[in-house]
Structure 1
Amino acid sequence: MTAAAASGDGARPRPARRPTMKDIARRAGVSESAVSFALNDRPGVSSDTRERVRRVAEELGWQANSAARALSGERSGCAGLVLARPAHTLGVESFFLQLVSGIQEALSARRVALLFQVVEDLDTELAVLRRWWAERRVDGVLVVDPRTEDPRPGLLASLGLPAVVIGGLEADRHHAETPLPVSNVWADDAGAMASVLDHLYSLGHRRIAHVAGMRGLAHTERRIVSLRAEAARRGLTEDEVRSVATDYSDAEGAEATRRILDGPARTRPTAIVYDNDVMAVAGASVAAGRGVSVPAELSVVAWDDSALCRVTHPRLTALVRDTPGFGRLAAQELLAALDGAPVRSVQGELPHLEPRESTGPPPGE
């Protein structure tokens, strides 16, 4: 009776055994020490033996053990990314999918893998970063969602773990005299918000609501501050232009829209700016369900463009940028840091506003 027959038709197949240095030595006809010398590029074997060993290793599909490689001081061939956000907000938001696709494209070109983990909060993220460093699981990390008082750049700098923060740090960090602890790739959120307000103000809107993301994130706070500053520059008060924080989900975007539309008619905003595409689509749906016409009675703007914005009726005015390109830029900066490049701050492209059918003059204009 064969081993396969003895195991039964429903038995789980045995996993293939990973090839070892002993297997390579046996097939190449050399000692295990010669294999070690050849694969680790150390002296002690001839060039012919080194070539033969490497050819056999490739034929067998041999890969170096990551733990052993770490102990020897070699690179892991892996970059890390930890995301501390509610998991339910990730499946519907296209921004991170596009960002990660760009990151992966740049890393793959250098045969660097991406180790990705979602955690519940910032403290857990810090613990993961420390563990990855201690275990030498990653050669460097990409950091997203910078906080207003963010402990991660300082921690990573103290560990000596190369890192790139994706997104702006403190509001004046780019002009500060103190050096950056780690590299930073950022977009001009203040300039983008100014273009949104320019568009709405030129249409005649004077009462504008902002359905923002999570408080404590640097870009959320920067957008709120920028909105207030741009409003004040045009003589608008905080009663006329205000922000509401959410968790970026469609559910909270919809709920924020209901609260805004439930306000007194004389103070109700005539335009709403949403911090992502998902909330903008949810908000437009709430307005339609209440018989509020977009854009005749309410103009809607999405911060990040996506297919959702372009297939919704009416199509949503949105800030457009090359998000995969932003991810590629961040990954390229991390690869440069791994190659010994100095810490630096790099600005990505400024998102540009693409007016579509969801914005128009306010009622009575």
Structure 2
Amino acid sequence: MNRPRPTIKDVAAQAGVSKAAVSLAFNNKPGVSETTRARIIETARAMGWEPHLSARSLTTGSGAVGLAIRRPSRQLGLEPFYMEFISGMESVLTERGGALLLRLVRDADEEIRLQRHWWKSGQIAGSVLVDFQQDDPRVPELARIGLPAVAVAHPSLAGPFAALWTDDGTAVGDAVRYLAALGHRTIARVGGSARLGHSVIRSTAFATAVAGLGLPEGRQMATDFSGAAGARATRTLLASAVRPTAVIYDNDLMAVAGLSVAAEMGLRVPADVSLLAWDDSQLCRLTHPTLSAMSHDIHAFGSDAARALYAVLGGARAVSHQAATPVLTPRGSTAPPAR
């Protein structure tokens, strides 16, 4: 017969203290002497009891980190970027005894209300903020309430928050120059929402790179990052009077959809059109042909974001820093255009 699991009440009775004293000891709070703290912890270990991590984090804010993402739940499950990013965050949270509060929201206003509730109610110690827009309304509102946070965004968008970002402008330029070196003259881009800060940076860098190489102005199409939107944009591009011979996608999900559309329209990849994905993931290595990509260690990016937030929570000043720039990984989906 299984013995019942010991409770905080059992530990308190065995150690000869109150339940409040046990809580103070395990949360490293003042109110108990070091001798008493050591006795409580030793008693708990001997009994096989430890505080419930999620309950402690949610009630004290000592280890819970907030993350709100503006994506439909169905799309989030298909998008490799956030799955890898969250995995990277979790690897650090597990090391630190923390927990992640994840919520999907519809817009910035809903996220502001959510973050304010999390912070005011003590459910989180701080947040990692993502998907920044130009003049993002979250910045003044969350800074005003004193929320400790790290912004996954270029410093120009992050306001007073510590920023963590990749040099998307340089990466886009590298992608365009690579395709031009293969001989492509008509290059298009399928991007994310035009309201997102990193989309604006990539769009500007794309136009600058194309113009700098003396190429015709490349067509750029904004989407919501979904496979369906990527497929629609690809059909539009490949059915146009001046069909691009190469297309750059802002994520791997849209690039995979683009590969399917090319086959649907009777076009060969890369003989008739070259395709280049962003971020890179297992998806890019499972297609036929395999997708060339601007590779980025997203797991490490998520880990870096969590560590940066813990540094802020530890009292460090908001120090922004740049993560590794995405690098080109050529595979089977890019080649010189057909003569």
Tell me, yes or no, if the aligned pair for 2:108 and 2:137 is still in contact at 8 Å. Answer: no
1:217 correspondence with 2:196: yes
Deviations 1:87-121 (A, max 9, x none): 23211111111111111112221111111111122
Tell me, yes or no, if the aligned pair for 1:25 and 1:35 is still in contact at 8 Å. Answer: yes
1:361 correspondence with 2:336: yes
C-alpha spacing 1:256/1:42, structure 2 compared with 1 (3 Å): closer
Paired residue for 2:285?
310
Task: Mark the runs of 5 or more structure 1 residues left unpaired by the alignment.
Answer: 1-15, 174-178
Deviations 1:17-64 (A, max 9, x none): 8824x43332334455765665565456682x4433223334363527
Deviations 1:276-319 (A, max 9, x none): 11111110111012210111110100012111111211111101
The alignment-based identity, stated in percent, is 43
C-alpha spacing 1:182/1:55, structure 2 compared with 1 (3 Å): same
Which of 32, 39, 58 is the matching residue for 1:52? 39
Tell me, yes or no, if the aligned pair for 2:128 and 2:151 is still in contact at 8 Å. Answer: yes
Q: Which amino acid aligns with 1:249?
A: S
C-alpha spacing 1:61/1:256, structure 2 compared with 1 (3 Å): same
Counterpart CA distance in 2 for 1:333 and 1:300 is 34
Counterpart CA distance in 1 for 2:21 and 2:225 is 57
Paired residue for 2:13?
26
Tell me, yes or no, if the aligned pair for 1:321 and 1:351 is still in contact at 8 Å. Answer: yes
1:122 correspondence with 2:124: no
**SS at 1:303 equivalent:** strand
Tell me, yes or no, if the aligned pair for 2:57 and 2:64 is still in contact at 8 Å. Answer: no
Deviations 1:242-289 (A, max 9, x none): 11111111111111111111112xx11111111111111110111012
Counterpart CA distance in 2 for 1:36 and 1:283 is 55
- Summarize the alignment of residues 156-167 of structure 1 with structure 2, pairs less than 5 Å apart: 156-167=142-153
- State the 1:217 CA deviation: 0.7
**SS at 1:56 equivalent:** helix
Paired residue for 2:71?
85
Tell me, yes or no, if the aligned pair for 2:294 and 2:329 is still in contact at 8 Å. Answer: yes
Report the number of matched residues.
334
Paired residue for 1:260?
237
Task: Mark the runs of 5 or more structure 2 residues left unpaired by the alignment.
Answer: none
Q: Which amino acid aligns with 1:183?
A: A
Paired residue for 1:5?
none
**SS at 1:194 equivalent:** helix
Tell me, yes or no, if the aligned pair for 1:81 and 1:143 is still in contact at 8 Å. Answer: yes
**SS at 2:336 equivalent:** coil
Deviations 1:147-193 (A, max 9, x none): 112122322222222110113254xx6xxxxx941000000000000
Which structure has the greater CA radius of gyration? 1
1:349 correspondence with 2:287: no
Tell me, yes or no, if the aligned pair for 2:186 and 2:245 is still in contact at 8 Å. Answer: yes
Paired residue for 1:132?
118
Counterpart CA distance in 2 for 1:361 and 1:68 is 58
**SS at 2:266 equivalent:** coil
Q: Which amino acid aligns with 2:12?
A: A
Tell me, yes or no, if the aligned pair for 1:19 and 1:60 is still in contact at 8 Å. Answer: no
